[in-house]
Amino acid sequence: MSDMEQIGAVFLEDTIQTFRSMKKLADGAMQQLGDAQFFLAPDAESNSLAIIIQHVHGNMLSRWRDFLTTDGEKPDRNRDGEFEPRDLTREELLKLWEEGWSVLFGALEPLGPGDLLRTVTIRGEAHTVIKAIQRQVSHYAYHVGQIVYLGKHLAGEDWQTLSIARGQSKLYRP
C-alpha cells in the first residue's frame, strides 16, 4: 500500500471513529432525559431534540443514500418539513436516529482510499468525497453539540457528564 493509500485508509478509519464518537455523545445525552423532554425547546427560535433528530435523520438519508452515485440532496427530501413538529413518540424518534446513522455507516464503511478523490454532488455542486465527508462531520458535530447542550440544560442537576468532570482534568494528564 502506498503512502497516499495509507493516508486515505487512516482518514476513513478516523472519520468513522469520529462519527461513532459523536453518536455516542448524543446517545449519552438523550439517555438522561425523559420522554417529554424530547419535545421541549428553550424558546420559540430554538429546536427541540425531536426537531434536531428529524433534521439530522433527513439530512443523513439524503446525503448518504446512494452516496457515490446520486446528488446528496435527494428529490424526496422535505428539509423544511424536518423542522415542523410531528406526532412521533420518543421511540419513533430514536428509530429515525438509528436509521440515519445506519445509512451513514453503510455508505462510509465500504469506501476505500481510491474513492476519496472521486466527485460527488450536493445540490448540484461538485465535491470530492473528502470534502463531502468533511462537510457532514462539521454539520453533525454542530447538531450533536446542540443535543448535548440541550440535554445538559434539561437534565439540570441530574446531568451526568459525558466527558471529564469539572475539577478532574488533572486526573487525565500524562
- pLDDT tops 90 at residue 9: yes
Cα-based angle 36, 41, 137 (whole degrees, multiple of 5): 105
Tell me the per-residue pLDDT of 52-110, one tens digit each, with 9 for 90 and over.
Answer: 999 999 999 999 999 999 999 999 999 999 999 999 999 999 999 999 999 999 999 99
In the predicted model, what is the mean pLDDT of the chain? 96
- Packing angle between helix 129-155 and helix 3-31, nearest 10 degrees? 20
Q: What cell was used for 85?
A: 413538529
With bands split at pLDDT 50, 70 and 90, how would you rate the model's confidence at 150? very high
Instruction: Give the pLDDT confidence score for residue 166 in this predicted structure.
Output: 87
Give per-residue pLDDT as tens, 28-53.
999 999 999 999 999 999 999 999 99
C-beta separation of 159 from 28 below 8 A = no
Q: What is the DSSP letter of 170?
A: G
Q: Which domains does the chain have, with CATH numbers?
A: 3-171 (1.20.120.450)
